[in-house]
Structure 1
Amino acid sequence: MGAFDLILGPILMGSMMNVLLLGIMIMQCYVYFERYKSDKLWVRCVVWLLLVLDCLSSSFAMAMTYNYLVTNFANVEAIAYTNLGITPYPVLTGITAFVVQCFFAWRIRVLTGNTLLASVIALLSCVQLLASIGTMIGGIIVKEFAQLDRVKQVSLLWLLGSVVTDAIITVALVWFLRNSRTGFAPTDNLTGRIIRLTVQTGLLTTTCALGVAIAYLVSTNTTLHLAFGLPLSKLYTNSLMSSLNARKAWDPAGYVSGSAHTPSQFGHAHQPSYGQASGLVGISGRHHSEEIAYDNQQIELAKKDPSVAGTASSKTPFLV
């Protein structure tokens, strides 16, 4: 193993993965803006914000890598210190995680009506954001990689805060989806697909954040944690975009509330959207308690008479 394999190697690998995931994010954003033009303005603004944050993150990662591997090639003294490219990494990741986690907290509040749970998620997300700012400030003050142990406590608060928040979001969504099963096979199969997507996307961010924390603890005098940490923000944005873009694949005709129409009954596919007055579960302008009561009634009817299950199943795609 070369002298710099565990110092420059993780930086190079993390930056490569960061840029690769940026390409996937750009593709997902293009699909989103082409497909969901009727989504509410604030949702589209969130997507734009995440795209800008991802571009900034990748730009700084490439600047950091260029500085270490080209500008300071074979300069051992320069490798021992942080540079301008790596300094913003914690706060950019923290802001991205905060935006995504708050979006899912809003979704959980709308779907479950549990304001307390959503508030806890938002609070934990605020804690990890503040800790990420503290980590960046500590990196500016300390500068030497070998001395970053001095800010280990606040860094672990940031990373473990993200892990706990992601785990709560995943468990809450899966629990709600499992309790939304109607006993009607097509609806339950669709719900199962949504559960798998929720677990997969939540598991990615949780596992990666946990990997950063573990690497940071066990790999002293190396930058191994950056191999996991640099792509982390992209996993957050891609997990959100995959859940938004997957709506089209979940039977577009089923997004029309209160009917059991099939795709052949429409002249065109109906685009699902957030915030439109279409009676969608948890997304429409109707009061949430009315939606829950209506959904429960539909589920009970579906269990007794499968012929009415289409109405309940039409709401399923918006459960996540």
Structure 2
Amino acid sequence: MSSPPTPEQVAQASITLADRFLHWGLFGAFFTQLYNYTSSSRSKYDNFIVKSFVYVTILIQLSAIFFITHTIWGTLVLNFGVVAVVTHVPWSVPLALLTTGISTSLAQMFFSWRIYTLSGGATKGGAVLIGFLGIAIMISTMQFSACLAFNVKFYLISRNFELVPSLNKISEVWLASAVIGDWINGVTFVVMMRRERKNSAFPLTKALLDRIIINFVESGLITATLALADLIVFLVLPTTTVRVTLEFTLGPLYANVMMANLNSREKIGQAARALEMNTFTSSSHGSQSRPAVQIIQNPNTFSTSVGHTTDLGRVRLDTSVIHHSDDGVLYNSDTNLDAKLASLA
């Protein structure tokens, strides 16, 4: 007859179950975000790179929910009451952790690419900005490599949870890399946007940049704060399983934040149109000369005085512009970013 589980083992099983329920909830939220994305009129304008990020994220999240469900089934259904399963976890646990590392790197690289695109690329973004983004991508890659190394080592110790403290050095690199990558991306984005806001001569552009900054900070702080909390818990309580809940939660949370960032473009686009109308209404009572604008039947488009019709959520009011390859930003001929619009929010 097997001995009853210890309080520590019961606590570990309880934390595991609570974490899986949280993961399922985030998975449901992710599919809500995915539905909103596919229903959005902007999604059909997204280029191959954006859609690739979305499709790979879907694949990773489907894999994650399968591994998470298998973990619960193996530990709390098939082996209910078996004490050994608490320490020798199912084969799906390391793979579920691996999806967290992939989701983290995927989201961080997505935001690095967005910042790079908004900056105008290597020729317009500046060496310092591009350098920081390069560092962010390298750190994100290191995060994934450390996550992969952790899970390989975890298999080598027969998935014995009691031996996980022997992998603490790898865990430090894994968790610290996730935190640093988030904060580098966040600080780089805010500094770049504030610089362009300062250089812009358009009040409407300044207002839109403020909205984009707020949206990025609000979404980015969620993952950055949780990743930092995970690192702190690990450093303070390295032998407990509390941090496991945070580690499993990070993956779907990064996926949700990435999709929420894409979906926010619709609201910012609506705000852009409202600001456009207010600006044009106000200008009709003033003496300052402005380019003529004609609102046409499609509420998502407008026409300038030079006869160019385009998506209102994708351009700024300027008759001397060139298209950027991401189909989301138009640059002035003096290479300043006077237009940060909703499609790249």
**Residue number among 298, 311, 328 corresponding to 1:267 in the alignment:** 298
Asked if 2 retains the 8 angstrom alpha-carbon contact of 1:8 and 1:223, the reply is no
Distance, in Å, in 1 between the alignment partners of 2:322 and 2:161 is 54
Distance, in Å, in 2 between the alignment partners of 1:284 and 1:172 is 22
Report what 1:33 is aligned to. 38
Asked if 2 retains the 8 angstrom alpha-carbon contact of 1:282 and 1:291, the reply is no
Letter of the structure 2 residue corresponding to residue 192 of structure 1? D
**Residue number among 92, 96, 114 corresponding to 1:107 in the alignment:** 114
Q: CA deviation at 1:5?
A: 4.9
**Residue number among 65, 68, 74 corresponding to 2:75 in the alignment:** 68
Asked if 2 retains the 8 angstrom alpha-carbon contact of 1:28 and 1:241, the reply is yes
Report what 2:54 is aligned to. 47
The normalised TM-score by structure 2 is: 0.76
Asked if 1 retains the 8 angstrom alpha-carbon contact of 2:226 and 2:250, the reply is yes
Distance, in Å, in 2 between the alignment partners of 1:78 and 1:10 is 14
Letter of the structure 2 residue corresponding to residue 141 of structure 1? L
Report what 2:226 is aligned to. 208
Work out whether 1:283 is the aligned partner of 2:317. no
Relative distance call for 1:86 and 1:134 in structure 2 (3 A) is: same
Work out whether 1:247 is the aligned partner of 2:278. no
Report what 1:130 is aligned to. 145
Kindly, what percent of the aligned residue pairs are identical? Answer: 25
Asked if 2 retains the 8 angstrom alpha-carbon contact of 1:6 and 1:222, the reply is no
Q: Which has the larger radius of gyration?
A: 2
Q: CA deviation at 1:108?
A: 1.8
Asked if 2 retains the 8 angstrom alpha-carbon contact of 1:205 and 1:236, the reply is yes
What does residue range 87-166 of structure 1 map to in structure 2 within 5 Å? 87-112=94-119, 113=125, 114-142=129-157, 143-166=159-182
What does residue range 165-180 of structure 1 map to in structure 2 within 5 Å? 165-180=181-196
Distance, in Å, in 2 between the alignment partners of 1:132 and 1:252 is 40
Asked if 1 retains the 8 angstrom alpha-carbon contact of 2:101 and 2:144, the reply is yes
Relative distance call for 1:18 and 1:261 in structure 2 (3 A) is: farther
CA RMSD of superposed structures (Å): 3.1
Report what 1:306 is aligned to. none
Q: CA deviation at 1:317?
A: 2.8
Distance, in Å, in 2 between the alignment partners of 1:211 and 1:244 is 25
Report what 1:303 is aligned to. none
Report what 1:307 is aligned to. none
Report what 2:336 is aligned to. 295
Asked if 1 retains the 8 angstrom alpha-carbon contact of 2:9 and 2:86, the reply is no
Asked if 2 retains the 8 angstrom alpha-carbon contact of 1:282 and 1:318, the reply is no
Query: Structure 2: which 5+ runs fail to align?
Result: 1-5, 120-124, 274-290, 302-310, 315-320
Q: CA deviation at 1:212?
A: 2.2
- Give the secondary-structure state (helix, strand or coil) at the position aligned to 2:88: coil
User: Relative contact order (alpha carbons < 8 A, sep ≥ 6): 1 or 2 greater?
Assistant: 1
Work out whether 1:77 is the aligned partner of 2:108. no
After superposition, the C-alpha distances for 1:37-60 in whole angstroms (9 at most, x for unaligned) are 121123112101101101111111
- Give the secondary-structure state (helix, strand or coil) at the position aligned to 1:295: coil
Asked if 2 retains the 8 angstrom alpha-carbon contact of 1:14 and 1:229, the reply is no
Distance, in Å, in 2 between the alignment partners of 1:183 and 1:47 is 35
Work out whether 1:232 is the aligned partner of 2:250. yes
Distance, in Å, in 2 between the alignment partners of 1:285 and 1:18 is 33
Letter of the structure 1 residue corresponding to residue 226 of structure 2? C
Asked if 1 retains the 8 angstrom alpha-carbon contact of 2:211 and 2:268, the reply is no
Letter of the structure 2 residue corresponding to residue 241 of structure 1? M
Work out whether 1:23 is the aligned partner of 2:46. no
Asked if 2 retains the 8 angstrom alpha-carbon contact of 1:14 and 1:231, the reply is yes
Report what 2:240 is aligned to. 222
* Higher strand content, 1 or 2: 2
Asked if 1 retains the 8 angstrom alpha-carbon contact of 2:150 and 2:171, the reply is yes
Distance, in Å, in 2 between the alignment partners of 1:74 and 1:41 is 49
- Give the secondary-structure state (helix, strand or coil) at the position aligned to 1:267: coil
Asked if 2 retains the 8 angstrom alpha-carbon contact of 1:134 and 1:154, the reply is yes
Q: CA deviation at 1:217?
A: 3.2
Asked if 2 retains the 8 angstrom alpha-carbon contact of 1:208 and 1:229, the reply is no
Relative distance call for 1:285 and 1:64 in structure 2 (3 A) is: closer
The normalised TM-score by structure 1 is: 0.82
